[in-house]
Chains A and B, each alone.
Chain A
Amino acid sequence: MSDNREFIEEFLVESTENLDQLDRDLIALEERPDDPQRLASIFRTVHTIKGNSGFFGFSKLGALTHSGEHLLGRLRDGKIRLNDRVTGTLYSMVDAVRSILHSIESTGVEGEQDFRELAQTLAAVASDDAVEAATPAAPPIAPVPSSAPAPADATPAHTPAFTDAGPAAAAKPESTVATDDAPQAAATAPAVPPPARSAAAVHEPAKTSPAVTETSIRVDVGLLASILDLVGELVLARNELRSIETADPALEGVIHRINTVTNSLQETAVKTRMQPIEHVFSKFPRTVRDLAVSCGREVQLVIDGADTELDRTLVESIRDPLTHLVRNAVDHGIEPPAVRASLGKPRTGRLSLRAFQESGQVTIEVQDDGAGIPVEAVRAKAVSRGLVDADTAAQLPDDRVLQFIFEPGFSTATQVTSVSGRGVGMDVVKTNIEAIGGTVDIASRPGQGTTVRVRVPLTLAIIPALVVRCADERFALPQTAVAELVSLRADGGPRIEGLDSASVIRIRDRLVPVVFLDEFLGLRPRTACHDAGTVVLVRVDDHEFGLVVDSARTGLPQAAADGAHAASETATLSTIVVKPIGALLAQLGIYSGATVLGDGGVVLILDLRGILRVAQLPPLHRPAAADGRPSSADDGETYLVCRTGSGRRIALPLDSVARLERFGTDELQPVGHRQVVRRGQSFTPVVDADSLLGCPPHPADDGTIHLVVLDERRGGVGIAVRQILDVAPAESPLQPGLAGSGVIGTLAVGGLATELLDLTAAPYRS
């Protein structure tokens, strides 16, 4: 009947939580076997499940937990001592209970699995250290059933500590033990618990358990979501209300109150989405313990910052990636005790999980003090897999080599043995974390351990945002990706340089590729004038690019989630409520959602990663294994591609270029046997690209010279070319070229063979 169904569901939820607690308690008990409070807590949990299963007629569950309870009773009474066999058996029981609960949840019945053997083991373990006289046959466990429903238990007089514990059967462990144990335990040992011990055990549960049940209730997540939606609606209505001019002081007062209440309501409602990361961390003591046992490691798990809160949907999404990292650390990071001892390290490895909030993001560190990642092995593996050629690999710094671990398929079965197995499935970790807008970093020092740092946004639903205007439309950008705003002005300051397909902006000493948002979205032809507007510098993963828009402002005067009313355009940081736009539009890959502003208007949120992908921008300083790119045999460098006067296609490493300029041929001034152009107070020496290549220069017919000015390390020389073509990564390894021709070799950039200038040659050295 349906009533019953409802109770069973509640029982399932409660029991599942209890089992998590049980895992934690058992681990704590292993560390301090004599902790009577811990034992009492465990006992109580098992007893509760037993009582409830009897109530609902789940006989297998009842029998199993009865055996467990019996074992725990013996433990508590000091009849047996805690050892590996006891804890192992108890863990098996927890797992068995879990699988039965799972079966009940999905099928409504206990399932076909037979746990009688386990029940017998429990009974056997329980009687182990008892009277040596042995217990020839551990009595088969009778299904416990209906004789043991909790309410039937008499509450003995010596449990005053429980009487105020109120809810349910949970709170009467030792009394039940006394009665239930009797029939079965009689054969093996006296069942009467020493009163002193059980009294001590009772205190802790009395103070913790009821507190939780009394101050929290279960609420359906969908219900919370719809409350949030309604609050969002209310905020919009409030905004409209506020815009009404009134001379009536009474009405004004009411509007003011509604305003205040709405703000508080919104803040409170948003908090209901948050959940402590504890919900993920709480599983790890058990995971680590099991892994340590099966891998023969000794591991001390240190958890810090478990109360750090983040959006409940994110808590779920980081569960698997974190579990993976923790597994890796125990399995492949921390060495076996003997090895550690021989290295002069403590036998017990230390695995630390740390969570903390930092600038609108949550950082989670998984750190071990194990062997670290063998960088050279990773380097070799990367070369053998063709991810990078041997010469380039040899020059890559260690931290960049480590990035190969995130390369899809980098870890294979053979790799597990040859490269210590570290990094198994790291590409999946990275993919999953990035899917929720997060990042993963790895650092490792041989012999000292590895640190993986995962950063995720606090919430997916509410983010700080920057709203930009472009061609009369508004768009929102996640503020976490925005590095800098640059105003374009006619009178100096940064300018957009380059041509057509290869526009860049020079920010201090870097050239950053730009995307014209109007053109990219097809709103209108590219901004004709580069002297007005704003460039939003955006950092996504390893990439940096500029988004050219008409104007940008941090915050929104009346953003849906913006509590404070700010009428000015200069409002500071603001948050927006991210709403899904549906599969139809999400699949375009350039919008991550939409939001509703205070004026009721809908604004699209740009997916910067998606724009990067579609626009195919080259990375600025790309680690060899950049995200999402086909791992072709390129060397990871980005090149500026130009055409010389004679029509040759040449490339220069982008990071050697200081700026791009344009001059008229008449501005060239001869100085000795060289030519220079004047730029402000200084002169830039100019060499023609063709003459570098050993060809005669071809003067431009239109009287214009494009100058690629190299950075100071290379003497600030300007190389005159006919046309700037592209900024792109190489698609092939460098093929060595002919000596003495001014080129190092040839590589494929933008699908065409391109000669790479030899910048070490003499003309560049001043």
Chain B
Amino acid sequence: MSSPASLATRYCCFLVGDNCFAVASDSIAEVLRDGRITRVPHAAEAVLGLLHLRGRIVPVIDMRRRLGFAASPPEAGRTHVVVPLNGEFYSFLVDEMLDVVEVAEDRIEHPAAAADPPRDAVTGVYAAPGRLVHFLDPQRIVNGLEKRRDQVLHRQGASHGGT
């Protein structure tokens, strides 16, 4: 591609539900398929569990649930996009990896971001030929979870408070 190299960033696109999302390819540590997931009781709903990744324990976030889609059918969505954040790793579980696109910053539209989950992590939109690419901020994906985790803890406290 021959876009103005100065401002172009490479993004990895993937499918969640029937929508195309993308994160900057620089922010991705690796992509892997499958992997056994151990569930974590009382974790936020979108946190599917833990994945063992070469000695590290990585929380797996189901992007369907995180982005407000119906939960994945068991046979779908087995691709882990592993992203390092603040010294920790997170896996975003997506339906399918797509291509890598190179987009100049000025081609991205920035609609007012939603303040709350599920759409709070979308920072921009780019109209590619034949599809709309939604750009995600990994940090916001995780932050949104923390908000929900508070609610979970609250529930948990309520259900066990009486004992």
Contact = CB atoms under 8 A, between A and B. Distances in A.
Contact of B59 (A523, A585, A590, A726): A585
Interface in B130-156: 142, 145-146, 149, 152-153, 156
A711 to B, nearest CB: 24
A355 to B, nearest CB: 31
Contact of A584 (B38, B47, B55, B156): B47
Contact of B161 (A513, A523, A583, A616): A616
A601 B160 CA distance: 29
A170 interface: no
A229 B42 contact: no
Contacts of A588: 40, 42-43, 149, 152-153
A62 interface: no
B163 A502 contact: yes
B47 A585 contact: yes
Interface in B38-77: 38-44, 47, 49-52, 54-59
B90 A582 contact: yes
A466 to B, nearest CB: 18
A579 B149 contact: no
A58 interface: no
B106 interface: no
Interface string A592-619: 0110100011111000000000111100
Contacts of B142: 584
Contacts of A341: none
Most buried by A among B90, B152, B156: B156
Contacts of A209: none
B36 A600 contact: yes
A55 to B, nearest CB: 37
A615 B43 CA distance: 17
B157 interface: yes
A183 interface: no
B27 to A, nearest CB: 17
B156 to A, nearest CB: 7
Contacts of B44: 584
Nearest to A596: B52
Contact of B157 (A585, A604, A614, A750): A614
Given A596-B57, A601-B38, A604-B50, A584 B160 contact: no
Contacts of B89: 582
B88 A583 contact: yes
Nearest to B157: A614
B50 A589 contact: no
A467 to B, nearest CB: 13
B109 to A, nearest CB: 30
A230 B59 CA distance: 20
Contacts of B40: 581, 585, 588, 591, 604
Most buried by A among B42, B57, B149, B162: B57
B55 A585 contact: no
Contacts of B157: 614
A545 B161 CA distance: 16
Nearest to A591: B40
A602 B52 contact: yes
B42 A580 contact: no
Given A520-B160, A596-B57, A614-B160, A582 B43 contact: no
Contacts of A594: 38, 50, 57
A589 B153 contact: yes
A9 interface: no
Contacts of B152: 588
B59 A614 contact: no
A249 interface: no
A583 B88 CA distance: 8
B160 A615 contact: yes
A194 interface: no
B117 to A, nearest CB: 14
Contacts of B156: 614
Nearest to A518: B41
B43 A585 contact: yes
A523 B152 CA distance: 15
Contacts of B146: 584, 587
A596 B53 CA distance: 10
A703 interface: no
A166 interface: no
A233 B38 contact: no
A590 B56 contact: no
Contacts of A726: 162
Contacts of B153: 588-589
Contacts of A290: none
Nearest to B145: A584
A429 B88 CA distance: 29
Contact of B163 (A229, A230, A521, A615): A615
A594 B49 CA distance: 11
Contacts of A230: 55
B42 A581 contact: no
B55 to A, nearest CB: 4
A579 B43 contact: no
B60 to A, nearest CB: 10
A50 B90 CA distance: 50
Nearest to B42: A588
Contact of B149 (A501, A584, A593, A616): A584
Most buried by A among B36, B40, B59, B89: B40
Most buried by A among B54, B86, B152, B162: B162
B38 A602 contact: yes
A35 interface: no
A685 interface: no
Most buried by B among A520, A582, A614: A582
Contacts of B86: 583
Interface of A: 229-230, 232-233, 473, 501-502, 513, 515, 520-523, 579-585, 587-591, 593-594, 596, 600-604, 614-617, 726, 750
Given A580-B57, A582-B59, 16 more contacts: A232-B55, A473-B39, A581-B40, A583-B88, A584-B43, A584-B146, A584-B149, A585-B47, A587-B146, A588-B153, A596-B52, A601-B38, A602-B49, A604-B38, A615-B163, A616-B160
24 contacts: A230-B55, A233-B55, A473-B39, A515-B163, A522-B42, A579-B55, A580-B88, A581-B40, A581-B57, A582-B58, A582-B90, A583-B88, A584-B43, A584-B142, A585-B43, A585-B59, A588-B149, A600-B36, A601-B38, A602-B38, A603-B38, A616-B161, A617-B163, A726-B162
Interface of B: 36, 38-44, 47, 49-52, 54-59, 86, 88-90, 142, 145-146, 149, 152-153, 156-157, 160-163
3 closest residue pairs by CB, A with B: A521-B41, A229-B55, A602-B38
